[in-house]
């Protein structure tokens, strides 16, 4: 007797489980059934984690020291195509450079920083992460006056899948409007898109931070491993 379960695919991460269990006698049928049940439970856990994902706003206190401060590269380096500590930056319009002539040091920016001299319509900054993340954030400032509502939007992606977005508002920090834009997700993500409001003549951002999580496949493999250990222990007891 052979029990097969093929192509149990994880739609969002691309993980695919394929396994076949041979049962040589009815005596072993219950053992095989237990193992299959454990495997399917682990797979269902991964799916449920993705389907119940939500996004939350995070403060700077949610992160340790920044992963990117832009002090790692020379002043004048173009942001588009730049990689720092595994974080890769790209722009739809090449507009941003590492600079020390932005708004100066604020509560959330320490020069040098990434300065967008202009803020052209259609400008999107994409940051590809070095691994799957659960939290992400950065400090920023705008060339504007007073409080600016809905001034920056962060959209998270896992591959091509849009996980959702959050929008933030800036207040004087202490002179130019700015703040810290932090986002957390119950879904792992591998990239983030940043769009600054066109109401600002220019923008500046710095101190990029991210907190990593194990890949979904790692969760599944760990669960399957634990299931296998339980199956082996049960087999010795029978």
What are the pLDDT digits (tens) for 58-104? 999 999 999 999 999 999 999 999 999 999 999 999 999 999 988 88
Tokens 């739809």 sit on residue: 92
pLDDT of residue 16: 47
For residues 192 and 111, is the Cβ–Cβ distance under 8 A?
Answer: no
Above 60 in pLDDT, residue 40? no
Give the CATH number, domain containing residue 104. Answer: 2.60.120.260
| Rounded Cα distance, 163 and 184, in Å | 11
What pLDDT is stored for residue 29 in this prediction?
57
Q: For residue 14, what pLDDT is reported?
A: 45
The answer on 227 and 171 residing in a single domain is: no
pLDDT(17) > 70: no
pLDDT above 70 (res 53):
no
- Mean pLDDT value of segment 217-224: 52
User: 105 pLDDT exceeds 90?
Assistant: no
Check residues 164 and 14 and name the one with the higher pLDDT: 164
- Residue 39 sits in the same domain as residue 75: no
Shared-domain flag, residues 30 and 96: no
Question: Are residues 117 and 179 part of one domain?
Answer: yes
Kindly state whether residues 47 and 61 are assigned to the same domain. Answer: no
Q: What is the mean pLDDT of residues 158-182?
A: 94
Contact 137, 181 (CB under 8 A): yes
* Whether residues 29 and 144 fall in one domain: no
pLDDT score, position 117: 84
Q: Which domain holds residue 38?
A: 2-52+216-237
* Backbone angles phi and psi of 235, in degrees to 5: -65, -40
Tens digits of per-residue pLDDT, 114-133? 999 888 888 999 999 999 99
* 0.75 exceeded by pTM: no
| 46, 80: one domain | no
Question: What total number of domains does the chain contain?
Answer: 2
Residues 127 and 231 in one domain: no
pLDDT of amino acid 225 = 55
- Do 43 and 59 share a domain, yes or no? no
Across the chain, mean pLDDT equals 80
Same domain (yes/no): 105, 157 = yes
Q: Are 145 and 179 in a shared domain?
A: yes
Euclidean distance between CA atoms 59 and 91, whole angstroms:
26
Q: Are residues 132 and 90 in the same domain?
A: yes
Q: 11: pLDDT confidence band, cut at 50, 70 and 90?
A: very low
């Amino acid at each position: 007797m052979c029990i097969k379960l093929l192509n149990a695919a994880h739609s969002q991460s691309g993980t695919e489980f394929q396994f076949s269990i041979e049962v040589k006698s009815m005596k072993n049928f219950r053992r095989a059934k237990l193992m299959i049940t454990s495997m399917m439970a682990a797979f269902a856990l991964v799916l449920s984690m993705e389907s119940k994902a939500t996004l939350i706003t995070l403060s700077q206190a949610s992160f340790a020291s920044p992963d990117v401060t832009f002090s790692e590269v020379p002043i004048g380096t173009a942001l588009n195509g730049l990689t720092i500590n595994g974080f890769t930056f790209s722009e739809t319009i090449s507009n941003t450079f590492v600079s020390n002539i932005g708004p100066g040091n604020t509560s959330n920016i320490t020069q040098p920083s990434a300065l967008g001299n202009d803020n052209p319509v259609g400008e999107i900054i994409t940051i590809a992460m070095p691994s799957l993340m659960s939290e992400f954030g950065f400090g920023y400032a705008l060339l504007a006056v007073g409080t600016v509502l809905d001034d920056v939007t962060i959209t998270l992606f896992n591959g091509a899948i849009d996980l959702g977005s959050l929008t933030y508002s800036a207040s004087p920090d202490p002179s130019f409007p700015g703040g810290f834009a932090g986002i957390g997700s119950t879904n792992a993500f591998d990239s983030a898109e940043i769009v600054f409001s066109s109401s600002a003549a220019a923008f500046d951002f710095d101190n990029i931070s991210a907190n990593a999580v194990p890949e979904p496949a790692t969760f599944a493999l760990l669960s399957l491993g634990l299931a296998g250990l339980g199956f082996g222990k049960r087999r010795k007891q029978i």
